[in-house]
Amino acid sequence: MSYSNVRLVPPFQRSPSRVAIRAVSSYEADVEAVVMETLQELRPPVCGKSVLIKPNFVEPDIGGVINTHPIVIRAAREAFLRLGAKSVIIAEGPGHERDTEGILEVLQLKDYIGPLDRSFTDLNTDEVSQVPTRTKASKLKSLFLSKTVLGADFVVSMPKMKTHHWVGVTLALKNMFGIVPGNCYGWPKNVLHWAGLSESILDINSTVRPDFAIVDGIVGMEGNGPIQGTPKASCVIVAGDDPVAVDATCARIMGLVPERIDYLKRAALLLGHMEENKIEQLGETIGSVCRPFEILPEFQSLRA
């Protein structure tokens, strides 16, 4: 279980992580085949487990740049089921918009995953349990977390590859903000901002560490992300069983130095690997897919 099994392990005690980078030219390509092939290679242990996919849905976006693309979500769902998952549910608590159904309708999610009442849970209005945070980096000390998330056997963070105007980038770790419900913390989840963004990212992920991450970098966002930036086609899907290693790899693909991203540096102390020599790279090389992202002047120091 993602909650009770979280172990905080320093890098020197952690075995190397594996991260796959797959080139995908566009959403019209055979995304399902690419994701299936990737998961077959990485073999996430989902057989007989309830899988919860946590995409990044922020607000309605006709341009398709803000939210994780439903094609990638469908591909992951199908792949997990084929690998023997007992069930797969999509769950998200959008941060900027109370009208979750409006977001899903613009995404046309139902067309990809079937009836929403059976396959989607709005984490913003889910029942909650109060749990102590495993790390105490922020002022929070405990979190009210969705019972659906706490009850899942296997949590998959599925963000979009984007820049972020407060913390530099938003990837698998930052995406976990969505498991904190709006019905406790409001819209946006301003409590987390006041408690410290980097610190809150660490506390949330130390409490519910994603078991797996799949990043939609086919078209991401650069500049003033995560909602007001411009589209950036990196033409990749990045996946792995270590969210820190996946985020560090994505940062390198974006032309940034992961060691300079505050929350990633903190997460690398206890939650996964950031160093390149501790990450076994599968598929494409970082150099072959690296397309530096435009970033705001405040974050120029993150550039490689």
**Encoding tokens for residue 61?**
């976006």
Q: Which of 18, 20, 23, 31 is nearest to 236 (CA)?
A: 23
User: Counting contacts by CB under 8 A, is residue 263 touching another protein?
Assistant: no
User: Counting contacts by CB under 8 A, is residue 116 touching another protein?
Assistant: yes
Residue from the set 57, 177, 185, 293 that interacts with another protein by CB under 8 A? 185
Cβ atoms of 174 and 158 closer than 8 Å: no
User: Counting contacts by CB under 8 A, is residue 102 touching another protein?
Assistant: yes
Q: Which lies closer to another protein via its Cβ, residue 82 or residue 193? A: 193
Size of the site for another protein (CB under 8 A): 40
Residue from the set 224, 260, 281, 291 that interacts with another protein by CB under 8 A? 224
> Going by C-beta distance under 8 Å and a sequence separation of 6 or more, which residues neighbour residue 50?
85, 86, 87, 88, 89, 151, 152, 153, 154
User: Counting contacts by CB under 8 A, is residue 228 touching another protein?
Assistant: yes
**Encoding tokens for residue 292?**
């530096």
Residue from the set 37, 78, 97, 284 that interacts with another protein by CB under 8 A? 97
Site string for another protein, 27-66 (x = CB under 8 A): --------------------------------xx------
Query: Tokens 């979750």 correspond to what residue?
Result: 100
Angle formed by the axes of helices 70-82 and 31-42, to 10°?
40
Instruction: Give the three-class secondary structure for 161.
Output: strand
Choose one: 11-19, 35-43, 101-109, 204-212; the region binding another protein (CB under 8 A).
Answer: 101-109
> Going by C-beta distance under 8 Å and a sequence separation of 6 or more, which residues neighbour residue 218?
24, 26, 27, 31, 69, 72, 233, 234, 235, 236, 237
Choose one: 3-11, 151-159, 181-189, 268-276; the region binding another protein (CB under 8 A).
Answer: 181-189
* Residue ranges that bind another protein, judged by CB under 8 A: 59-60, 96-102, 104-106, 110, 115-117, 120, 122, 125-128, 130, 144, 165, 181, 183-188, 190-191, 193-194, 224, 228, 296, 298
